[in-house]
Amino acid sequence: MSNINFGQFFNNFPDNVNRFVTGNTRNIGINTGHMNNEIEVFSNIQSNFPATTAQLMQTSAELAALNQSQTVDMLKDLLKMPKNFEQLLMQLTVSNQKGDVKSLLSLLNSKVILSEVSNLLQSNSKEALSNLYNMLARYNQLGVTLKEEQLNELTKLISFVSSASASDVQTLKTVMLMYLPWLPLTEQSAFKLEIKDKNGSEASSEDDSVNILISTKNFGNLSAQIYKTQEDGIMIDAAVSETFPVKSLNSAIKEDSKIYNVNISINFEVKKSFNNKKNEQTKIEVSVQAGAGVNPFLLLISNAFIKDVHVTDEKSALIEQRKEKLPDGKS
């Protein structure tokens, strides 16, 4: 999917349509999209806006065809949230550093204050819902209607985010799910989160840790504890089943180490009790042990680790399926 800024699309919708309705379309360009494997709508929505009812109808059809991941990206735009998890964490830290990869190490000694995140989500979700209703009213003026399932999905997602802001734990859970778009945002049973308070300011950042339990689709359970080392590195202690593809996961972790420019060490322990029973859906339990604030770098690595496990699970299963289809199981 291209870098579509749906936030700008909706936020600038009233002014652009007003100009169309009043006949003042001199500054409105046209840049309609097309639909292939990925959906492209507009490259620069502020200067390029669909100026006819036919084009608006085409746009509504394209919006309705967005897949789950693309819809979540659209939600992020509406909520004025960045596409990448690391950029979001940079914006949320107390240190308030610039959100580039070179500055990510500053997250190691920072904190995310969840109450501030809750306030931000609540405020932005209200504005997003207002913008959505505004846009729908303008569409109706031109006789164009979004498909009901798309409207219901957008409204449900924004309302879900707004209600999540009432709880700090639910806020963090919702934010993390936005950056795991393959796991449905509103599917509560697939993602559990618990935050253990360590007596507030008396706890040191070195004691922070994240515990993760993942029930994979193909390789049974996997558990991991992620924490800082004294050398400002990251340690992951992981327990896996006998059949889990450890080499693939280890390679993915090494890539993360390069991307985030931090030493990430991982220890594997094989547990026979972690059977390889297949599950219909990946299920994740996350327990964050923190003080007054949550260490954002641990959240970042946790998010990356969960994605790595998911990708390893999916790729390994795909390879096995291909082998089964070939004569004598040859690759």
Range with the poorest average pLDDT among 97-111, 144-158, 244-258: 97-111
Question: What pLDDT was estimated at residue 255?
Answer: 95
Torsion angle of the four alpha carbons 57, 58, 60, 66, in this order, in degrees rounded to the nearest 10 = 170
Predicted confidence band of residue 94 (pLDDT cuts 50, 70, 90): low
Residue 193 lies in a domain: yes
Q: Is the pLDDT of residue 263 over 80?
A: yes
Question: What pLDDT was estimated at residue 51?
Answer: 47
Question: What pLDDT was estimated at residue 248?
Answer: 92
Domain shared by 202 and 258, yes or no:
yes
Question: What pLDDT was estimated at residue 29?
Answer: 35
Higher pLDDT, 132 or 199: 132
Question: What pLDDT was estimated at residue 34?
Answer: 35
Domain shared by 209 and 84, yes or no:
no
Residue 179 lies in a domain: no
Domain shared by 139 and 204, yes or no:
no
Q: Mean pLDDT for the chain?
A: 76
Question: What pLDDT was estimated at residue 320?
Answer: 64
Mean pLDDT on 194-217: 73
Mean pLDDT on 144-167: 79
Residue 1 lies in a domain: no
273-277 long-range contacts, CB within 8 A, separation 24+: 274/220, 274/221, 274/222, 274/223, 274/239, 274/240, 274/241, 274/244, 275/220, 275/221, 275/241, 276/218, 276/219, 276/220, 276/241, 276/242, 276/243, 276/244, 277/220
Domain shared by 237 and 287, yes or no:
yes
Mean pLDDT on 215-230: 92
What share of the chain in percent tops pLDDT 90? 28
Predicted confidence band of residue 100 (pLDDT cuts 50, 70, 90): low
Residue 181 lies in a domain: no
Last residue of a domain, one of 164, 199, 220: 164
User: Domain residues for 257?
Assistant: 187-329
Residue 169 lies in a domain: no
Domain shared by 320 and 191, yes or no:
yes
Domain shared by 196 and 314, yes or no:
yes
Domain shared by 158 and 238, yes or no:
no
Residue 175 lies in a domain: no
Q: Is the pLDDT of residue 50 over 50?
A: no
Question: What pLDDT was estimated at residue 52?
Answer: 59
Question: What pLDDT was estimated at residue 46?
Answer: 32
Domain tally for the chain? 2
Mean pLDDT on 284-306: 90
Domain shared by 82 and 148, yes or no:
yes
Predicted confidence band of residue 95 (pLDDT cuts 50, 70, 90): low
Last residue of a domain, one of 130, 164, 198: 164
Give whole-number Cα distances, 290 to 172, 178, 231, 263, 295, in Å.
13, 22, 19, 22, 7
Mean pLDDT on 160-182: 89
Question: What pLDDT was estimated at residue 152?
Answer: 76
Residue 273's CB is within 10 A of a number of other CB atoms, namely 8
Domain shared by 128 and 198, yes or no:
no
Residue 97 lies in a domain: yes
Predicted confidence band of residue 246 (pLDDT cuts 50, 70, 90): very high
What share of the chain in percent tops pLDDT 70? 66
Domain shared by 29 and 136, yes or no:
yes
Mean pLDDT on 295-313: 94
Question: What pLDDT was estimated at residue 25?
Answer: 41
Question: What pLDDT was estimated at residue 301?
Answer: 95
- Write out 203-251 in H/E/C secondary structure: CCHHHCEEEEEEECCCCCEEEEEEEECCCCCEEEEEEECCCCCHHHHHH
Range with the poorest average pLDDT among 46-50, 173-177, 279-283: 46-50
Pick from 96-105, 226-235, 284-293 the range whose average pLDDT is largest. Answer: 226-235
Q: Which two tokens stand for residue 166?
A: 């009432």
Domain shared by 143 and 255, yes or no:
no
Domain shared by 52 and 148, yes or no:
yes
Question: What pLDDT was estimated at residue 109?
Answer: 82
Residue 215 lies in a domain: yes
CA distance 154 to 129: 9
Higher pLDDT, 6 or 43: 6
Higher pLDDT, 69 or 11: 69
